[in-house]
Amino acid sequence: ENQIARPKGYTVSWHSNPDVEDHHFGQTHPMKPWRLTLTKELVMSYGMHLAMDLYLSRAATQEELKAFHKDEYIDFLHEPGYSSAVYGVGDDCPIFDGLYDYCSLYAGASIDAARKLCSKQSDIAINWSGGLHHAKKGEASGFCYVNDIVLAILQLLRVHARVLYIDIDVHHGDGVEQAFWSSDRVMCVSFHKYDREVFFPGTGPLESTGPIHPNNPGKNYTINVPLNDGIDDSSYQHLFETIIGDTIDVYRPDAIVLQCGADSLGHDRLGCFNLNIKGHGQCVTFVKSFRIPLLVVGGGGYTPRNVARAWAHETSICIGADKTLNPALPEFMPLREAFRKEGFTLFPNLGSWRKDNLNDQKYIQKIIEHVKEQLRYIKH
Ligand code: ZLV
Ligand code: CA
Ligand code: ZN
């Protein structure tokens, strides 16, 4: 039944802790940690767990969290009652039961995953519970409390000279960008819907490429790809492969972190793009093809069944099993009910009926030209 073999010549590690999945942001809040349960069920029912090293991740220590975050902010997350400061807490980032455990567990998984890459025990490390790119040094933002990506990159920088961060969540990766704004050792590339007035967080225009001061090492080491509603698989792939291909050629990173926010899929509750599961997954295939140590994290994704489909498919890409995976619902699937109503298929059509593609060829080409011009200033 389950015949998925280990990948040949490289190792994939899976980092998770089921305790993360039991937390609840509140009934009406779009962030649903149980999408991770659905993802894992799907991955395991295909037998993909047999092809990876599985690690039960541990909670990050306070000291580890404070490697990026302000002491008093972490103390507040630990004991929210003892402070009158707000630290970004509110409707987007509520205080819920077990908040500190939730944060320290998803961050611990990303830190562990990064360390497996540092020690070369893993070539591709996966943490679908991570990818919470909006968290700031001293403030929660956009459903994110602790920035596991920044913490993981700090680990990678102990051993790797240059880290490339790529963010395909529909939202701008502002927290990671801000953390490494003045560094040339981390290059941040975010693809996102951009509308300063109405779409969260309102940052990330094409012209935002790092500090402007000529002596600042971070100048030109940020790439922003602002997009309009309805981008489809073919335009996105063309943009992604051109920009990431050129960036890797010029920057020559020693490690890559790929944030795979699934809210860039069509039909997402918060998103506005038209990507299909295969189009989204093509980004993983492309990045993987460079054979550079890779940390894969999750992020947004607000239509849970599609999040599970995308991340299960992307797990299969990581282990090189995507060509042999049966796209029908596996026989041994404990959470079958969750998919039964709509008739399961791994690749439903999430294409264009909901939103027109408001990114024309001219606009796509303008972005590519701008980025090519910017990359002329990067030398290694
Ligand atoms: O996917 O929120 O628009 C990574 C990620 O990138 C806002 N927040 C801010 C600005 C004013 N507020 C709105 C406050 C609403 C609070 C509750 C929702 C509740 C129901 C349905 C939608 C939302 C919502 N909130 C939609 N967009 C927001 C954004 C935050 C988006 C964070 C994306 C996180 C995990
Ligand atoms: Ca993004
Ligand atoms: Zn998002």
How far does the centroid of ligand 3 lie from the alpha carbon of residue 201, in Å? 10
Q: What is residue 82's predicted lDDT score, i.e. its pLDDT?
A: 72
Tokens of 136: 């700031």
Average pLDDT of span 215-231: 98
Dihedral of the alpha carbons of 309, 294, 180, 170, in degrees to the nearest 10: -20
- Find the range with the poorest average confidence among 21-35, 235-249, 276-290, 336-350: 336-350
Atom of ligand 1 nearest to the CA of 90: 16
Does any domain span residue 380?
no
| DSSP 8-state assignment for residue 80 | G
Asked if the structure places residue 68 within a domain, the reply is yes
In a domain, 2, yes or no: no
Average pLDDT over residues 126-140: 98
The pLDDT score that the predictor gives to residue 355 is 86
Radius of gyration of the chain (CA): 19
- Domain ranges, residue 244: 12-375
Q: Does the ipTM exceed 0.85?
A: yes
From ligand 2's centre to the CA of 22, what distance in Å?
A: 26
Mutate to test the pocket of ligand 1, among 28, 29, 35, 92 (most ligand atoms within 8 A of CB): 92
Q: What is the pLDDT of residues 263-284, one digit of tens each?
A: 999 999 999 999 999 999 999 9
30 CA to centre of ligand 1 in angstroms: 8
Ligand with an atom nearest the CA of residue 172: 2
Q: Which residue has 């015949």 as its token pair?
A: 3
Q: Above 60 in pLDDT, residue 226?
A: yes
Q: Is 142 in the pocket of ligand 1 (CB under 6 A)?
A: yes
Helices (H), the chain: 18-21, 35-45, 62-65, 71-78, 99-118, 148-156, 174-179, 233-251, 277-288, 304-318, 337-340, 361-375
Is 227 within a domain?
A: yes
For 331-358, what is the mean pLDDT?
88
Is the pTM of the predicted complex or chain greater than 0.90?
yes
Nearest Cα residue to atom 1 of ligand 1: 300
Nearest-angstrom CA–CA distance, 218 and 203: 18
Domain membership of residue 5 (yes or no) is no
Q: How many domains does the chain have?
A: 1
Q: Does residue 341 belong to any structural domain of this protein?
A: yes
In this structure, is residue 221 part of a structural domain?
yes
Counting ligands in written order, the one closest to the CA of 270 is 1
Closest residue (by CA) to atom 10 of ligand 1? 200
Q: Output DSSP code: residue 346.
A: S
**119-130: average pLDDT:** 98
**CB contact set of 375 (below 8 Å; sequence gap of 6+):** 246, 247, 250
2: confidence class by pLDDT, cuts 50, 70, 90: low
pLDDT band at 340 (very low <50, low <70, confident <90, very high): confident
Q: Does 333 contact ligand 1 (Cβ within 6 A)?
A: no
For residue 266, the CA-to-ligand 3 centroid distance in Å is 13
Q: Which domain CATH number covers 208?
A: 3.40.800.20
* Ligand 1 pocket member 92 (CB < 6 A): yes
In DSSP terms, 104 is beta-bridged to none
Structure-token match 């799907």, residue found: 42
- State pLDDT tens for residues 177-214: 999 999 999 999 999 999 999 999 999 999 999 999 99
pLDDT digit string (tens) for 61-90? 999 999 999 999 999 999 998 777 799 999
Would 106 be classed as within a structural domain? yes
Query: How confident is the model at residue 380, as a pLDDT?
Result: 64
| Parallel, antiparallel or unpaired: strands 255-259 and 222-227 | unpaired
- Mapping DSSP to helix (H, G, I), strand (E, B) and coil, where does residue 189 land? strand
Q: At 3, is the secondary structure helix, strand, or coil?
A: coil
